[in-house]
Amino acid sequence: MLDVLVIAPHPDDAELGAGGAILKMLASGLRVGVLDLTSGEPTPHGSLELRAQETAAASAVLGLSWRENLGLPNRSLEASLENRAKLAGVIRTTRPRWLLAPYWEDAHPDHTAATKLVDDARFWAKLTKTDLPGEPHHPERIYNYYCVHLKMAPQPAFVLDISAEWERKAAAIACYHSQFVTGRPTEPPTFLDRLRDEAAYWGKTIGVRYGEPFACREPLGLRGWGELV
C-alpha cells in the first residue's frame, strides 16, 4: 500500500525528475514507491547487472523501501493493451493516492509512451468486472516531472523547494555512474554540474536555492495559503 507511486520509463528517470520530491515526501511520512518500466539497457557504458547495482545504490540513498521493475522492453516501450493491464494491476495492488509520471512532451519515445501508458492504466485501474488483480482503484492526480531529452523551456504548474534535499538527490543521481559519468566530458560544466544549475534556476524562480518543477493536466486544489512559498 503506497501513498505515492512514481513511474519511470528507465532506472534513473525518477531520480532525475523527482528525486527531491521523493525525499521530501518520505521525510513527511508518506509511503513512496518507484516502479521502473524497463531495465534501461542496453546503453553505451552500462549492462543489466551494472544498472541493477546502480539502481539499488540510488534507492538506498533515497531511502526507498519499495521499488520494482515491470520488465517492459527498453527502446521499444509501447502503451499497448497488454502493458496497460500490467501497470493497472500494480496500481490496483499498491493503491496510491497520487501518481508521478514523465512530462508528456519529449524527444524520447519511451518517455512519451510511458506517460500515455500511465494515463491509460490509471483509467483501467478503476474498472469493475475485470480479471485485473486487486480491487478497483483510481488515483486522485497525476503529477508530471521533467526528465526530458528535448530542448525546451518548461512552464510548470508548480516548483517544489528542494533546497534541503538537493545534496541527497545529487548523490542518488551520481550512483548511475555508467549513465552520467563514464564516457562523458570531465571538464566543467559536467552533466551533474548542469543538473545543479537547472535546480538552482528553478529555485530562483520561487526565491529559494534549489527547486524541482512539476506539471499537471488537472487543476490543483489548495485548502489555504500556508504552504505557498
| pLDDT for residue 227 | 80
Is 35 contained in some domain?
yes
Is 85 contained in some domain?
yes
| pLDDT for residue 69 | 98
Whole-number Cα distances in Å, 8 to 146, 193, 223: 11, 23, 29
217: number of Cβ within 10 Å: 11
Q: Are strands 211-215 and 141-145 parallel, antiparallel or unpaired?
A: antiparallel
What is the three-class DSSP state of 158? strand
**8 Å CB contact between 11 and 47:** no
| pLDDT for residue 31 | 98
What are the pLDDT digits (tens) for 63-122? 999 999 999 999 999 999 999 999 999 999 999 999 999 999 999 999 999 999 999 999
What is the three-class DSSP state of 26? helix
What are the pLDDT digits (tens) for 121-153? 999 999 999 999 999 999 999 999 999 888 888
Is 175 contained in some domain?
yes
Q: Which residues contact 181 (CB under 8 A, 6 or more apart)?
A: 174, 190, 191, 192
| pLDDT for residue 120 | 98
Residue 177: pLDDT band (50, 70, 90) is: very high
Q: Is the pLDDT of residue 5 over 90?
A: yes
Nearest Cα residue to 36 out of 93, 110, 105, 128: 110
Higher pLDDT, 211 or 227: 211
Is 198 contained in some domain?
yes
CATH of the domain at 187: 3.40.50.10320
| pLDDT for residue 226 | 84
Is 19 contained in some domain?
yes
Please state the domain count of the chain: 1
Q: What's the rounded Cα separation, in Å, for the pair 195 and 201?
A: 10
Is 192 contained in some domain?
yes
| pLDDT for residue 24 | 97
Is 223 contained in some domain?
no
Is 117 contained in some domain?
yes
CA geometry: angle at 19 spanning 16 and 21, to 5°?
A: 130
Q: Cell numbers 566530458 correspond to what residue?
A: 185
Q: What's the rounded Cα separation, in Å, for the pair 86 and 84?
A: 5
Structural domain boundaries enclosing 152 = 4-215
